[in-house]
Amino acid sequence: MVVVEEKYQIPLVLLFFNVDNQTGFGEEGFDPKWPNGARIAVSFVLNYEEGGERSVLDGDAHSEPYLWEKGASGGYKTTRYLNAEQDFEYGSRVASWRLIRLFKEFGWNFTTYAIAVALQKNPKFAKALVRDGHEVAAHGYRWLEFYDYNLEEDKAYIKKSLTTLKEVTGEFPVGAYFGRGTPQTHALFPEVWKELGEEFLWSSECYNDDVPYWLDLPWEASLPEKERKGMLLIPYNYDCNDGKFHMSPGFGSSVAETYEQYLKNTFDMLYREGGKLMNIPLHTRIIGKAGRCEALRKFMLYIAEKEGVWVTTRRDIAKHMHKNFPYQPDRKWMEGVKQ
């Protein structure tokens, strides 16, 4: 059962979603008017989880069975499973630096969905991310499910994730994607940031559009309009996610060309439509393997040749939206905005 505070009359999960999530922007659509007339915004997102996964060394009941090189055939063990441990270690030891070099080659920045403990165990990489201008966003304290937390446990977990990332990187995250949690976790983000006295700009806990959008927070309905903040959602996706190398149906663990072509197909459609956001979700230990990373590089070369491509972080996408389409309740921020 979802635990809620008195100010919430119904569970947060029900308050958080409204009818606009079903109808979207309709036939007219929404053009975010990207900077400098760009036709498309491209957001590379690196999920950094290595060191935060399940392991008996960290007191977990079994090893990590999810998203590593042996896929479903790998299973898990209730003792140490060196195969799994070392595949994750490839991400922190080798692939992290390969990706730093790759993005430096293009002069592009990505957003890191960072598991706090994982970055804590690799402080040199954490410093390199900040040094090179990559965004560090919150992805949870450890890469674990916590679906049974009550409201206060949920808040405490979010706060621990944020404060640990600040300690490791020197920067406080302005956005989040946990991907796991209770039904209320994602709705708590604005409140937790506020309690910590920090700025919250975006959440990516949605998969239902190709453009950012504002969400009304029903518990703000009683406030004067000028005091309402809403929540900016920058949609994420699974279809371009390199995790599908280890999922079924997926790209196939040894067929990087399939992945490369799918990214190109996605880019071509969104680029032709204009005014869209393309997400490219990455995992250090997955895309950082040499064969897949070369396919990613080929895709990067492909889009680098195109005019009007804004490769950016989610932080900068959020700043663009806050500046050009500031939140107003009841979709008033959309008034006068047509494609």
Token duo for residue 119: 């970055």
For residue 169, being part of any structural domain is answered with yes
Token duo for residue 96: 């992290």
For residue 12, being part of any structural domain is answered with no
For residue 13, being part of any structural domain is answered with no
Query: Using CA atoms in the order 252, 254, 257, 258, what is the torsion angle rounded to 10 degrees?
Result: 0
For residue 11, being part of any structural domain is answered with no
For residue 17, being part of any structural domain is answered with no
Is residue 43 within 8 Å of residue 277, measured between CB atoms?
yes
Residues β-bridged to residue 7: none
How far apart are alpha carbons 303 and 191 in whole angstroms?
A: 38
Q: How far is CA 216 from CA 18, 235, 269, 324, 330, in A?
A: 9, 16, 30, 18, 7
How far apart are alpha carbons 33 and 160 in whole angstroms?
A: 36
* pLDDT by residue, tens only, the chain of 339 residues: 334 454 444 455 544 554 456 678 889 899 999 999 999 999 999 999 999 998 999 898 998 988 888 877 788 889 998 889 999 999 999 999 999 999 999 999 999 999 999 999 999 999 999 999 999 999 999 999 989 999 999 999 999 999 999 999 999 999 999 999 998 999 999 999 999 999 999 999 999 999 999 999 988 989 999 899 999 999 999 999 999 999 877 776 667 889 999 999 999 999 999 999 999 999 999 999 999 999 999 999 999 999 999 999 999 999 999 999 999 987 778 764 543
Token duo for residue 147: 């679906």
Residue-level pLDDT at 257: 85
Measured in degrees and rounded to the nearest 5, phi and psi for residue 134 equal -80, 145
Residue-level pLDDT at 22: 67
Domain count across the chain: 1
What single-letter DSSP state applies at residue 93?
A: I
Residue-level pLDDT at 62: 92
- Domain with 69, as residue range(s), is 31-334
User: Cα angle at 183 between 285 and 181, to 5 degrees?
Assistant: 30
Residue-level pLDDT at 228: 92
Residue-level pLDDT at 254: 64
For residue 21, being part of any structural domain is answered with no
For residue 111, being part of any structural domain is answered with yes
For residue 172, being part of any structural domain is answered with yes
DSSP notation for 285-311: HHHTSHHHHHHHHHHHHHHHTSSSEEE
What's 219's domain CATH number?
A: 3.20.20.370
